[in-house]
Amino acid sequence: MSSEASTATVVEAIFAALQDAGRPAGASWGIAANGALDQFSYHYGNALVGNDRSLPSLETVMTDLVVRFDRAVVAAVTGASAKVTIGGLPARMNQAVIVPAGADLAVRDIRGGLRCYVSVFGGFHGGNTFLGSVAPDRTLRFGLDLVPGMTLGCGPSGRLDVSGHEYPFPVLDPPPRPLLGHAELGVLPGENRDLFENQARELFEDEYVMTDKTDAVGSRLQGRIPRRFDKREILSRALPIGAIEVPGGHELLILNRGRGLSAGYPVIGVVCTSSMNVLSQVRPGERVRFVPITLETARRLRFWEAEIIRSTRERMTKIIDSVPVTGP
Q: What is the dihedral sign for C-alpha 294, 297, 301, 307?
A: positive
Specify the pLDDT at position 197.
Answer: 80
Contacts of 117 (CB under 8 A, 6+ apart): 19, 36, 38, 41, 42, 45, 57, 58, 59, 77, 78, 79
The secondary structure of 252-279 as a DSSP string is: EEEE-TT--SEE-S-EEEEE-HHHHHHH
Specify the pLDDT at position 172.
Answer: 72
Contact 131, 23 (CB under 8 A): yes
Contact 268, 246 (CB under 8 A): yes
Cα separation values, 57 from 22, 133, 146, 168, 325, Å: 12, 12, 12, 22, 21
Give 248-286 pLDDT, tens digit per residue. Answer: 888 999 999 999 888 889 999 999 999 999 999 999 999
Banded pLDDT at 200 (limits 50, 70, 90) = confident
Residue range 215-230: average pLDDT? 92
Between helix 39-48 and helix 295-320 the angle, nearest 10°, is: 20
Instruction: Give the Cα-Cα-Cα angle 257, 260, 264 (nearest 5 degrees).
Output: 125
CA separation for the pair 97, 89 (Å, rounded): 12
Burial class (CB in 10 A: 0-12, 13-18, 19+), 195: buried
> Strand 104-120 relative to strand 57-61: parallel, antiparallel, unpaired?
antiparallel
- The separation between CA 114 and the C-alpha centre of its own chain, rounded to angstroms, equals 10
| All domains of the chain in start order, with CATH | 5-176+305-326 (no CATH), 184-292 (2.40.100.10)
Specify the pLDDT at position 235.
Answer: 80
Burial class (CB in 10 A: 0-12, 13-18, 19+), 83: middle
Is the confidence at residue 179, as pLDDT, over 60? no
Residue range 214-228: average pLDDT? 93
Its pTM stands at 0.93
Specify the pLDDT at position 2.
Answer: 40
- The separation between CA 120 and the C-alpha centre of its own chain, rounded to angstroms, equals 15
Q: What is the dihedral sign for C-alpha 130, 131, 132, 137?
A: negative
CA separation for the pair 301, 307 (Å, rounded): 10
Q: What is the dihedral sign for C-alpha 167, 172, 178, 179?
A: positive
Give 8-55 pLDDT, tens digit per residue. Answer: 999 999 999 999 999 998 888 889 999 999 999 999 999 999 998 899
- The separation between CA 310 and the C-alpha centre of its own chain, rounded to angstroms, equals 17
